[in-house]
Structures are given as structure tokens and as C-alpha cells.
């Protein structure tokens, strides 16, 4: 099996939701982009995971959203020459390894996942796919012998499950999998909804509530409108630890996007009022997202280019996935050992 002995490897995935949001950008994409030259980088648009959210494939076919997502990732700074970007369903090893890992996963581990519990509570009948979502995620990560997984804070528990599965497999069948670690940024790893700072910013709520998310391709006036309407409070506190959740969320967005140290952010807004804070946050978000939007609009209709990038990415990583899967099959005894 191919073991990478040069740069350490990062792998991460994102669901093809079309218009990604500021939470995806800060929690995940900034880390993908910053680390892509330092690590051997592999990123996947996880269309099989998207099937687990029941409403995700109704209005726009998933394949269209995959292209929109690829265009947004590239527009945000992902360099497809350096990082491999591919579509999960193009490499069947993901589904195959997921099945094998399923057979080692106690159902109780999956029923304990907070994301499963939250999502299952929102639907009439949770599917096996929803319960099994983290096992497919573990397969994604383990197929590529991943060292670090750059994600937002909400994915920490899924990475812990991946670690448990890798260790269980290695113990039972001999060391095969690299045991990965999460890569989570200290600030900005959990961006909350603008309309309700008690819940994380999420695509599913965006569809139901106006002003909940900031989409990466939103026009400037929409971004400003959502930020000016963000829930704050009637006070004037601008210190992170003392501020109400809505104000803290705005301060965090500013801190994470500006890269300024926390005390500098606090003193910048001290005594200025929330209207000023909101306008400054809006200015910064618009300044960061406008070039992304411009580039996105240039790319999104270039289907041939996007399909080429995704095809190239899949071709680049397929040998790694296939070789890991073959080794797994040999170890568990469903494929003959290599001769010679």
C-alpha cells in the first residue's frame, strides 16, 4: 500500500449545497486554502453525504450543485493545480470502505452523535443514511491515510469516531490506517446564525429563514442587509467574554476575517455602539467576499473547465483510494494476498 513519506496529508469534505456560507468559509475553507501548500491536500465534494439530507436533491439536481460548489471553492482560493479536488461518488472505494467499516461500528456509537440526534429530531423518520453518515465520513478520511482533517468545530465528534474506527480496525487486523487528527481554528470554527445566535449558521436553516446566513455569492446589498438586521441586544458591551451571543458572533466574524488580535478588536469597537460594529463587519465581509463572487460568476458557467478539474482530481487520488481498499480487503480476508 502507498504510504506517503513526504509532506503530511490533509483531507476534508464539503457537501454540495450550492451557495456555501460564511460558516463554511471561516470554519473550513480558510484552513484548506491556508494549508494547501504546506500539506499534500485532498478535498472532496461529498455528494453521497448530501443524499442523507432529504430535501437536498429536490429543486436543483445534485450534479449542478456540485459544479457550483467547485466554482465557489476555486473562487475562494483553492488551487486545483496544488490540491486534488474531486467528487466523492466518482470513486466507488468510498462506499465500499464505508460498508466494511459499518460492520465494525456499534450502532450505539452512531446514535450518540449529536449531529445525528439534531437532524433526526427534525424529520418524521430518520433514514439509515442519516445514522450512517459519520461512517462514510470516516471512510473518506481513512482511504487517503490522512494526517489532519481541517473542519469546523461541529465536526469534532465525527473525527473522534473516525479515530475510534481506525484504532479498532488497526487493532483487529494490523496497522493499516493512519490515525488522523482534526485541525480546528482557534476562532471562527463555529459561526452562529445572524438571526438566532443560539444555533450555528447552517444551510438547512438558510432555506427557511431570511437573514440567517451570509452566502459566499451573495451580493453586497444582501450581505449588508443581513448584518444590519443581525440579532444583538440593547446594551453596549463589546468585550468577547462579556458580550451577548449575537454581538460575540459579529466580533468573532471580524476577528477571524481581519486576523487582528482579540484585544485590538475589542478596543476598536469599545463605546462605539452596535450600529458602528455592524457596519464595520459588513464592510469587511463585503471586501472579502466581493472578489470571490466576481470570480465565481466567471467560473460557474464554465462547465467544461469545472468538469475537467474534477476529473483530474479524481484521477490523481484514485490510486491511493484503491490501494488502501485493496489492502483492507486482503486483511479482512475477502481478497487473495499479493503473490510475490
Residue ranges in contact with ligand TYM by CB under 6 A: 11-15, 23-24, 26-28, 46, 49, 137, 140-141, 149, 151-152, 154-155, 158, 189-191, 200-202
Q: Least Å distance between CB 3 and ligand TYM?
A: 20
Q: Least Å distance between CB 252 and ligand TYM?
A: 10
Closest CA to 73 of 299, 302, 318, 301: 299
The residue with its CB nearest to ligand TYM is 27
Enzyme catalytic residues: 119, 200, 203
Rg (CA), the chain: 21
Considering the complex, state which of residue 191 and residue 282 has its C-beta at the smaller distance from ligand TYM: 191
Q: Least Å distance between CB 59 and ligand TYM?
A: 17
Q: Which residue has the cell 479482512?
A: 332
CA distance 89 to 139: 13
Grid coordinates of 107: 450502532
Q: Least Å distance between CB 300 and ligand TYM?
A: 18
Name 44's bridge partners: 13, 86
Grid coordinates of 310: 474534477
List Cβ neighbours of 63 (8 Å cut-off, separation of 6 or more). Answer: 47
Considering the complex, state which of residue 88 and residue 232 has its C-beta at the smaller distance from ligand TYM: 88
Closest CA to 120 of 54, 165, 59, 57: 54
Q: Least Å distance between CB 181 and ligand TYM?
A: 12
Longest Cα separation, the chain: 75
DSSP letter at 27 equals I
CA distance 263 to 282: 20
What b/e readout covers 189-224, taking b as 16+ CB neighbours within 10 angstroms?
bbbbbbbbbeebbbbebbeeeebbbbbbbbeeeebb
Q: What angle is formed at CA 244 by the lines to CA 203 and CA 268, rounded to 5 degrees?
A: 100
Q: Least Å distance between CB 99 and ligand TYM?
A: 16
Q: Residue 80 — φ and ψ, nearest 5°?
A: -70, -10
Amino acid at each position: 500500500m502507498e504510504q506517503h513519506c513526504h509532506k503530511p496529508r490533509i483531507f476534508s469534505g464539503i457537501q454540495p449545497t450550492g451557495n456555501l456560507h460564511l460558516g463554511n468559509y471561516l470554519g473550513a475553507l480558510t484552513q484548506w486554502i491556508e494549508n494547501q501548500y504546506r500539506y499534500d491536500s485532498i478535498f472532496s465534494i461529498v455528494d453521497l453525504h448530501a443524499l442523507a439530507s432529504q430535501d437536498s436533491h429536490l429543486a436543483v439536481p445534485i450534479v449542478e450543485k456540485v459544479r457550483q460548489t467547485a466554482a465557489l471553492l476555486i473562487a475562494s482560493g483553492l488551487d486545483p493545480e496544488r490540491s486534488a479536488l474531486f467528487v466523492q461518488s466518482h470513486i466507488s472505494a468510498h462506499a465500499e470502505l464505508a460498508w466494511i467499516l459499518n460492520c465494525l461500528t456499534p450502532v450505539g456509537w452512531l446514535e450518540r452523535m449529536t449531529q445525528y440526534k439534531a437532524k433526526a429530531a427534525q424529520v418524521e423518520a430518520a433514514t439509515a443514511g442519516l445514522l450512517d453518515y459519520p461512517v462514510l465520513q470516516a471512510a473518506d478520511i481513512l482511504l487517503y491515510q490522512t494526517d489532519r482533517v481541517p473542519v469546523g468545530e461541529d465536526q469534532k465528534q465525527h473525527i473522534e469516531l473516525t479515530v475510534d474506527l481506525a484504532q479498532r480496525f488497526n487493532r483487529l487486523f494490523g496497522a493499516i490506517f493512519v490515525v488522523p487528527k482534526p485541525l480546528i481554528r482557534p476562532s471562527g470554527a463555529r459561526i452562529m446564525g445572524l438571526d438566532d445566535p443560539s444555533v450555528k449558521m447552517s444551510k438547512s436553516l438558510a432555506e427557511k429563514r431570511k437573514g440567517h446566513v451570509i452566502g459566499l455569492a451573495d451580493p453586497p446589498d444582501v450581505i449588508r442587509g443581513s448584518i444590519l438586521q443581525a440579532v444583538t441586544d440593547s446594551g453596549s458591551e463589546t468585550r468577547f467574554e462579556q458580550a451577548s451571543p449575537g454581538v460575540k458572533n459579529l466580533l468573532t466574524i471580524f476577528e477571524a476575517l481581519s486576523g487582528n488580535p482579540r484585544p485590538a478588536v475589542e478596543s476598536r469597537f469599545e463605546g462605539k455602539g452596535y450600529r458602528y460594529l455592524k457596519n464595520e463587519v459588513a464592510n469587511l465581509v463585503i471586501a472579502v467576499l466581493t472578489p470571490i463572487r466576481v470570480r465565481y460568476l466567471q467560473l460557474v458557467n464554465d462547465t467544461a473547465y469545472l468538469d475537467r478539474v474534477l476529473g483530474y482530481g479524481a484521477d490523481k487520488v484514485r490510486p491511493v483510494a484503491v490501494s488502501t481498499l485493496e489492502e483492507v480487503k486482503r486483511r479482512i480476508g475477502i481478497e487473495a494476498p499479493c503473490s510475490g
